[in-house]
Structure 1
């Protein structure tokens, strides 16, 4: 359902863009990290891992460890978007 809502929202934005002559650009930034992340919620692996490591606790990785992710530092992502 989560992905469906995102796709429908994107389609609605594209329709508005077509109707009013506005260029719509969708950026699907996954796994952002940076200032302001507390590491206490279930989102934000980098912040959670750093907080866990600083507390001297083990970092739990689900699965077999073969999954890879790209992480985007917030400032770098924003700088890329405004170019």
Structure 2
């Protein structure tokens, strides 16, 4: 089907951005669909939530998955994405 899946445990916005930047260089103009689940302890506490919208700039589409024990509004953060 022409779909390639890459898996990475980027646990903060800088790591997410670095991963997506590298992937963009690899795939060029091919679409990137990122799935982001803030599940590290610091992410669950919201320590990095302000940096998340910018961290996914290289993705064409982002699917946000909020674990049940997330202590902040992921939807509000996702709404800030470009």
TM-score band by shorter chain is 0.3 to 0.5
Q: Structure 1 length normalisation: TM-score?
A: 0.32
Higher strand share: 2
**Higher RCO, 1 vs 2 (CA within 8 Å, ≥6 residues apart):** 2
Q: Structure 2 length normalisation: TM-score?
A: 0.32
